[in-house]
Amino acid sequence: MFDIGFSELVLIFVVGLVVLGPQRLPIAIRTVMGWVRTIRGLAANVQNELAQELKLQELQESIKKAEALNLSSLSPELSKTVEDLKQSAQQMQANLASTQGEVTKLTDEQVAEIQAKIEQEEQQIVATDLPKSEENQPLVDDVVSDKAKLSPAEIAEQAELDESQFSAYYPPDDELASPGASVSQQQDKQNVS
Residue 120 · residue 97 · CB < 8 Å: no
Bigger pLDDT: 149 vs 114:
114
Say if 176 falls within a structural domain.
no
* 154-173: pLDDT as tens digits: 777 777 776 666 555 555 55
**Rounded-to-integer distance, Cα 161 and Cα 185, Å:** 30
Between the ranges 21-30, 36-45, 127-136, 141-150, where is the mean pLDDT highest?
36-45
Q: Are residues 151 and 118 in the same domain?
A: no
* Least confident window among 26-30, 115-119, 156-160, 178-182: 178-182
Domain that holds residue 150: 133-170
Q: What is the mean pLDDT of the chain?
A: 75
**Rounded-to-integer distance, Cα 100 and Cα 94, Å:** 10
What's the number of domains the chain is made of? Answer: 2
* 8-58: pLDDT as tens digits: 888 988 998 898 888 888 888 899 899 999 999 999 999 999 999 998 888
Residue 28 · residue 124 · CB < 8 Å: no
Say if 119 falls within a structural domain.
yes
Tell which residue, 93, 7, 5, has the closest CA to residue 53.
Answer: 93
Q: Are residues 19 and 33 in the same domain?
A: yes
Tell which residue, 55, 175, 45, has the closest CA to residue 110.
Answer: 45
Last residue within a domain, chosen from 70, 96, 129: 129
Q: Are residues 99 and 27 in the same domain?
A: yes
Last residue within a domain, chosen from 129, 144, 179: 129
Between the ranges 37-41, 124-128, 146-150, 154-158, where is the mean pLDDT highest?
37-41
